[in-house]
Amino acid sequence: MSKLPFCPCTDTSCQFNPANHDRGCDLCVEDSLKCGEIPKCFFLKVTDSIEGFEDWSFEHFAKLTLKQ
């Protein structure tokens, strides 16, 4: 169990946070796919800050990507 250096997730109460298990990104990606969402670390590739974001949809990610 260790925090991944590039993972932006600070919510360690989340069962999928890599700090809470030894499966790396697997559980986060699996849950994101089930929910139709993109993991937060991908958003940080297309925007400087994700503070206040609540929409992790493919659509939101695409809009931010196209704005670049």
Q: Which residues of this chain interact with ligand SF4, rule CB under 6 A?
A: 4, 6-7, 9, 18, 25, 28-29, 39-41
How far apart (Å, rounded) are the C-alpha atoms in residues 11 and 19? 9
How far apart (Å, rounded) are the C-alpha atoms in residues 64 and 44? 10
From the CB of 64, what's the least distance to ligand SF4, in Å? 16
Nearer to ligand SF4, 6 or 13 (CB): 6
* CA dist 5 → 2, 9, 25, 41 (Å): 9, 10, 12, 11
From the CB of 21, what's the least distance to ligand SF4, in Å? 10
Nearer to ligand SF4, 28 or 61 (CB): 28
